[in-house]
Structure 1
Amino acid sequence: MELIRIIISVLIPPVGAFLKVGLGLHFWINLILTLCGYVPGLVHVIWLLVRK
């Protein structure tokens, strides 16, 4: 499951954040960061995946 989550996170960062934390604060932060640019959203979702 972790490999699938990583692949989805690289392709679509908000979906990866949703799979990790649900519809919490970090999902909305990631959505905003991804709308501002793909790279900030990607960095945030990678941080979410390695943090726990």
Structure 2
Amino acid sequence: MASRCEVFLEILIAIFIPPLGVCLRDGCCSCEFFICLVLTLLGYIPGIIYAVYAIVVRGSHPDDQWRPLTA
């Protein structure tokens, strides 16, 4: 599980370059990365919103379950 500092830095990177923030969390060949890339190409703001969503809510978990924001 990522520390709070790592999550904070990933969110900062996701604000400036959304696909890179998702790539650091999930990898370059993940579905989340391609969704974020397409959303960023269609509009910068939707890319940021999805990147933050993918980093904070979805996260990278072995069982791929949702986790609360306080975890």
Same fold per TM (> 0.5)? yes
Q: Deviations over 1:1-48 (max 9, x none)?
A: 222211111100000010111120110110000000001101101111
Structure showing greater radius of gyration is 2
Alpha-carbon distance in structure 2 between the residues aligned to 1:6 and 1:26: 15
How many angstroms apart in 2 are the aligned matches of 1:10 and 1:44?
Answer: 10
Greater share of helix residues, 1 or 2?
1
Q: Equivalent residue for 1:33?
A: 39
CA RMSD between the two structures: 1.0
How many residues matched? 52
**Bigger RCO (CA 8 Å, 6+ sep):** 1
- 2:18 is equivalent to residue 13 of structure 1: yes
What is the SS of the residue equivalent to 1:8?
helix
Give yes or no for contact 2:19–2:40 (8 Å, CA) kept in 1. yes
Unaligned 5+ residue runs, structure 1? Answer: none
TM-score relative to the length of structure 1: 0.88
Unmatched 5+ stretches in structure 2: 1-5, 60-71
In 2, the alpha carbon distance for the partners of 1:33 and 1:15 equals 13
